[in-house]
Structure 1
Amino acid sequence: MDRGKRPNKLVGSRNSKIYMDLRDIIREHTLPFLPAKSLFRFQGVCRDWKLQISTPFFAHNQSLTFQAISGLFCQSSGGDPPSFISIDPQSCGVPDPSLKFLPEPIDIRASSNGLICCQGQTGDKPYYICNPVTRQLKKLPKTNADHGLDPAVVLVFEPSLLNFVADYKLVCAFPSVDFDNATEFEIYSSTDGSWKISGETCFASKKLVPRSGIYVDGVVYWQAKHHGIVAFDLTKDRSQLIQGYHGINATLGTMNGKLCSAYANGRSVLVNVLSNVYSNTMQMHSNTRTWEEKTRFYLDNSALGGIANEQGMVLFAGCNVILVQFGRSILCYDMKSKETKVLCNVPEYDIRCISYVNSLVYI
């Protein structure tokens, strides 16, 4: 009889060990994949989780593993304080959506993997880099060049396993004062703590769309106002004009690590991927194309409601998510589930939006 009870004790011991292992697995290997708002809530689960989430190492690990879009920071063209639209309000959010912790009223300019670039509205209009979750901020030194009233800036931040403090760059394309219809580039490096004007000048006679810039695999891209894309390679310090692109109502994004353009035409949304930047140098009658169609889909009629006849504008394309504005409604299309949902209604048609990742990254 006694021997018959021993296996039960052994099984109980094994179950306890399995439970402990599962608890450790969740703490060590699941929590870093969650957005910041959820992690702040989970600090109340137990003392171990609170200590784990509060460490700088965990914040660093979370910035590496969680890089999905969490929502949009939006701001009216009149310069009112920004607001935040969350894709999932239960899990993603920031404690101060209007960014009042910054020392002055600001205009949102760019974002990258949890960091936001803002520009002051007073004085010299300095740039600020901040994390809206931790409310950490850094004021950048004065620029060497005049970037204009609505600068075409792109924030570049790629989380690195070896760097606990974020190393980032701010890249601005600005009109040249020495050459008519030319574009120059100025780069701020957090590693150097200073601005540097590139020796490269783009003579493509193109005016850029200020908030169209995006960084993909070492290259920054901006839409030209009339035709084409201006590309600036940060490694080679070289610029290039990419032809064969019509940017009417289109938005640049990323798809599987490649540059893409997405635009809406009625209920239809078309996503093209950059396939060959040298197609204009190919021999005549070559079948090589600069852009290839990646996907085309139709938004759900039930989500569009009475706005089906409005002209849509793609706000964001990436992370298997497409955000489209129809009139004052912002819709989210999930490319995996093929579902369309209405995120919110905005107070104005002309509203500036930048994507945001809910990260704990340290500045």
Structure 2
Amino acid sequence: MQGLSKTGSDLPEVLVLEILSKLPVKSLTRFRCVCKPWSCSFQTPVFITKHHNYNLRNNNLNLLFKGFQGNTIDGLHYFYQLSTEKGQNFSAKQKFHIPYFGKGWNTLPVNGPCNGILCLNDYEDKVALWNPSTREFKILPQSSVQRPPSAYHTSFNDLGFGYDSQTDDYKVLRFVTSHFEEDSFNPNYQAELYSLRSDSWKEISTHGVFVCDGPLFNKYVNGFYYWQAAGDSGDLILSFDMVNEKFSTLSLPITLEHFYWHLLDFKGLLGVIYHPCEGTEKSFDLWVMNGSWTKQFTIESVPGVEWPLGFWKNGELFLESSDHQLVLFDPSTRELKNLGMHAEKDTMQITAYVESLVTINGRSEYEERIIHSASN
């Protein structure tokens, strides 16, 4: 209590910190200047966990919209922070642009969140971690994993991002393909793992399956990251244990022809959502793994939509419409609401995350020249 007396507070220190743990990150950032004990307390694992768990329990979600505008070569990706206040209809509050990542439609998918942290990457060896709450940004070092010397081209493919609770470490797993001029039909596949604690990459033995996935949804669930994959017997699910650093496989709940399927974190459980490839009306079936696969629900006949993008607090479903607008469908009322956000086809993502004080040993957004501007 001695250190806190400078603030004029007569409350016990434990109670003061309990109250502070319920405040948004923006307020806590300002309050670091109140006194040194507060500033130090905000950086302890106990306080960081307490603050994050409070937001999880109360479902205090933030929304980040990613889109793309322009042509496929010179177009730019951008982010909008959307308002989640009641009655504001997810209006855009602030716009972000990240110059570190180049131009072009196939760059900058968003992976995560994991404890409030996002992982961004392109397909040209650039990977970064980002805490949008604290505005900390970390560019990951280039991998030192050796590539086959005769390869003429290397592509960096699907990526997974998660947390190792045993070592308190954040890890990035990505797949790398090396191509050869003399044998273009037999590329070399590698997997490599980055550790934030060691700030380095290492090679991981692959499972011998082909990953064919993209980060439409967050697929990190309780220490495991999941990908859509293909093996000798057809489609399957590939998982990676962030603690043991081992791959394993899982069968799909059902196999349907002419249907897309996507993996996602649904309320802390692994889910698979199916929808038809064709048609002007879409239905959506959600299956959840909880010891075994169980169908959670079916949403029938939603007109004028292309893709599911994510679930909101009360089961509403964010979707990309046929004219590439962000829309929200409420299954209980059958209402389809246009949220006024547009992006080029297949470039739209919506990410719901809980605020976090977790540090990623990076630099401020200002130092990395991330551009903030008021929404139009």
Please indicate, yes or no, whether the TM-score normalized by the shorter chain is above 0.5: yes
- Equivalent-residue separation in structure 2 for 1:32 and 1:338 (angstroms): 38
- In the alignment, does 2:330 pair up with 1:326? no
Among 34, 51, 54, the alignment partner of 1:62 is 51
How far apart, in 2, do the equivalents of 1:343 and 1:177 lie?
A: 43
From the superposition, tell whether residues 232 and 52 of structure 1 become closer, same or farther in structure 2 (CA, over 3 Å): closer
AA aligned opposite 1:66: N
Cα distance 1:52–1:139, how it changes in 2: closer, same or farther (>3 A)? closer
User: Is 1:254–1:318's contact at 8 Å kept on the other side of the alignment?
Assistant: no
Equivalent residue number for residue 11 of structure 1: none
Q: Distance in 2 between matches of 1:360 and 1:270?
A: 36
CA distance in 2 between partners of 1:263 and 1:242 (Å): 15
Residue of structure 2 equivalent to 1:214 = 219
Tell me the distance in 1 between the aligned counterparts of 2:66 and 2:300. Answer: 25
1:196 corresponds, among 196, 202, 227, to: 202
1:360 to 342, 357, 371: 357
Structure 1 residue corresponding to 2:347, chosen from 341, 348, 351: 351
Could you say if the C-alpha distance between residues 80 and 329 of structure 1 is closer, same or farther in structure 2, counting changes exceeding 3 Å? same
Q: Is the aligned partner of 1:271 residue 2:277?
A: no
- Select the structure that is richer in helix: 1
Q: For residues 334 and 28 of structure 1, what CA distance do their matches in structure 2 show? A: 38
Deviations 1:71-100 (A, max 9, x none): 134132845132125251689988662235
Q: List per-residue Cα deviations over 1:308-331 (Å, max 9, x = no partner).
A: 532331112476553222222323
Q: Which structure 1 segments of 5+ residues have no match?
A: 1-19, 277-289, 300-307
Aligned pair in 2 of structure 1 residues 142, 29: CA closer, same or farther (>3 Å)? same
In the other structure, the counterpart of 1:138 is 138
Q: CA RMSD in A?
A: 4.7
Correspondence list, 1:285-296, <5 A: 291-296=293-298
Residues in 2 aligned to 1:329 and 1:312: alpha-carbon distance in whole angstroms: 10
Is residue 304 of structure 2 the alignment partner of residue 310 of structure 1?
yes
Match of 1:238 in 2: 247
The Cα of 1:219 is off from its aligned counterpart by 2.3
Q: Distance in 2 between matches of 1:117 and 1:127?
A: 7
Q: What amino acid is the match of 2:97?
A: S
Q: Distance in 2 between matches of 1:113 and 1:262?
A: 23
2:156–2:177 CA contact under 8 A, matched in 1:
no
Q: Distance in 2 between matches of 1:134 and 1:95?
A: 15
**1:129 and 2:148 matched:** no
Give the Cα separation in 2 of the matches to 1:127 and 1:108: 10
3-state SS of the aligned residue for 2:227?
Answer: strand
Q: Judge conservation of contact 1:59–1:362 (CA < 8 Å) in 2.
A: no
Distance in 2 between residues matched to 1:159 and 1:73, nearest whole Å = 28
Query: Shift of residue 241 of structure 1?
Result: 5.1
Q: Aligned to 1:81, which of 70, 77, 84?
A: 77
Could you tell me whether the CA contact under 8 Å between 2:305 and 2:319 is conserved in 1? no
Distance 2:333 2:356 in 1: 24
- In structure 1, the partner of 2:366 is none
The structure with the larger Rg is: 1
Q: Percent identity?
A: 22
Segments of 5+ residues of structure 2 without an aligned counterpart are 1-9, 148-152, 361-376
How many residue pairs align between the two structures? 310
Q: Is the 8 A contact 2:325 2:341 kept in 1?
A: yes
Q: 1:325 to 1:141 in 2, by over 3 A?
A: same
For residues 145 and 315 of structure 1, the distance between their equivalents in structure 2, rounded to whole angstroms, comes to 36
- The Cα shift of 1:136 comes to 1.8
| Contact kept in structure 1, 2:67 and 2:344, CA below 8 Å | no
So what's the TM-score if we normalise by structure 2? Answer: 0.63
C-alpha deviation, 1:254, in angstroms: 1.8
Larger mean CA deviation between 255-264 and 31-40 belongs to 31-40
CA drift at 1:222: 0.8
Equivalent in the alignment of 1:249: 260
Residues of 2 paired with 1:109 and 1:330: CA distance? 17
TM-score when scaled to structure 1? Answer: 0.65
2 CA distance for matches of 1:236 and 1:159? 12
The superposition leaves residues 138-166 of structure 1 with CA deviations (integer Å, 9 ceiling, x where unpaired) of 22221226795462112213789x96xxx
Describe how 1:158-197 pairs up with structure 2 within 5 A. 167-175=169-177, 180=186, 184-197=190-203
Which secondary structure state, in structure 2, belongs to the residue aligned with residue 201 of structure 1?
A: coil
- In 2 relative to 1, CA 351–145 (structure 1 residues): closer, same or farther, beyond 3 Å? farther
Q: Which amino acid aligns with 1:273?
A: V
Distance (whole Å) between structure 2 residues aligned to residue 158 and residue 220 of structure 1: 11
Q: Is the 8 A contact 2:67 2:342 kept in 1?
A: no
Task: Identify if the C-alpha distance between structure 1 residues 103 and 76 changes in structure 2 by more than 3 Å, giving closer, same or farther.
Answer: closer
Name the CA distance, whole Å, in 1 between partners of 2:54 and 2:336. 26
- Give the structure with the higher percent strand: 2
Equivalent residue letter for 1:56:
Q
